[in-house]
Amino acid sequence: MALHWFAIIFAWASVVIFFAVAVYRVVKISSMPLGLRWEVYPIPHEARDRREYGGSYMEDVDWPKKHERRSFWAEVVEFLAPEAIEIGTEIVTMKKVRGHNRYGIWAFSTLLHWGIYLFVLWALLLIVQSLTRSALLAAVAGPLLVVACAVGLVGAAGLIVRRATTPDLARYTAPIDYFNLAFLAAIFVSGLISWAGDPALAGHRAYMSAALTFQPTAVSGAVLATFLLFWAFVVYMPFSKLLHYVIKYFLYHQGLWDDAFKTKGSAADRQVIRQLGYRVKWQAPHIAAGKTWLEEAQMISPEGEKK
């Protein structure tokens, strides 16, 4: 019974840890110094006719004079919504991976991600079913678990094999990458084993109900292993690179697509001025340690020109 109590406490603790660490990392990243803007076109928040050929509002004559501060609603509709759709499309279809599918990993990567999405959906569905006692959700849960685990396992195994057998990929695949894939594969294998021993998912539903009501109940080892592995993954995720789906916002919105006009005295302008005052702590033939970045930019290069 002690193990079943642990499984319940671990479930709640994993969720708390996940959100606490994820929020901490998001806050930390959002407070980091401004990065270099990439301005990779086409940009989703541009006008439709300009998106077709990768144009920009900077093509307009006297565009700096036309700059107007947008309302919050206009910012959401004209900027954030198109970007959210683009990011969402990337998360669902992995289209950038498909566009650069030199090593044939797109199919496996897509299957792995969909396996994760469906497994999380399955866990949420079990929670709702435990609260509502819906017969429909109970009937859907079994097939959903099988599909999630089968799809995810094929994706994880395929990526392990592809990375290990493709020289160019193997050269850049760190041990932690194999560990992440093996961890996910273990969850999917455990899920399939637990389903095979309990196709109706009576034990899975009993565990979820016990976790929600803090009333431990005996379940099979396979069911317990599936949930313990899943909660361990929930704890592990925010500490790892697997949180990249949250970081996509910063990469896309503040890196790839940031083409905002910087006005004098704005928050971005003040931050740039502040960062120009940072002192360089390293040196190279073209960089002198101890000077500010503003001083570095104004220095005369060896060729006799300003940098």
* 261 is a domain residue: no
pLDDT value for 196: 96
Q: Locate tokens 């107007």: which residue?
A: 68
pLDDT value for 74: 67
pLDDT value for 265: 81
d(C-alpha 7, C-alpha 115), whole Å: 23
* 274 is a domain residue: no
Q: Picking from 167-181, 184-198, 242-256, 276-290, which range would have the lowest pLDDT averaged per residue?
A: 242-256
d(C-alpha 109, C-alpha 158), whole Å: 8
Please name the residues in contact with 237: beta carbons below 8 A apart, sequence gap of 6 or more: 18, 243
d(C-alpha 155, C-alpha 301), whole Å: 52
141: domain range?
2-256
Measured between its terminal Cα atoms, the distance across the chain in Å is: 70
pLDDT over 70 (residue 115): yes
d(C-alpha 216, C-alpha 134), whole Å: 21
Quote the tokens at residue 174: 């760190």
Of residues 65 and 129, more confidently modeled: 129
* 226 is a domain residue: yes
* 295 is a domain residue: no
pLDDT value for 301: 62
Q: What is the pLDDT of residues 152-186, one digit of tens each?
A: 999 999 999 999 999 999 999 999 999 999 999 99
Neighbours of 234 (CB within 10 A): 19
* 169 is a domain residue: yes
pLDDT value for 72: 64
Which has the closest alpha carbon to 97: 79, 80, 113?
113
d(C-alpha 30, C-alpha 152), whole Å: 32
Of residues 6 and 244, more confidently modeled: 6
Q: At what angle do helices 202-213 and 106-132 cross, to 10 degrees?
A: 60
DSSP classification of residue 66:
G
The arithmetic mean of pLDDT across residues 97-117, rounded, is 92
The arithmetic mean of pLDDT across residues 269-291, rounded, is 86
d(C-alpha 11, C-alpha 41), whole Å: 43
The number of distinct structural domains making up the chain is: 1
φ/ψ (deg, to 5) at 35: -95, 175
CATH number, domain at 134? 1.20.950
pLDDT value for 158: 97
Q: What's the chain's average pLDDT?
A: 88
Quote the tokens at residue 178: 């194999």
Helices of type H across the chain = 2-30, 48-51, 72-75, 81-93, 95-99, 106-132, 135-165, 167-172, 175-197, 202-213, 221-236, 244-251, 267-276, 293-298
Q: What is the pLDDT of residues 282-305, one digit of tens each?
A: 888 888 888 898 888 887 665 555
Q: Locate tokens 């006008």: which residue?
A: 47
d(C-alpha 24, C-alpha 195), whole Å: 36
Of residues 97 and 68, more confidently modeled: 97
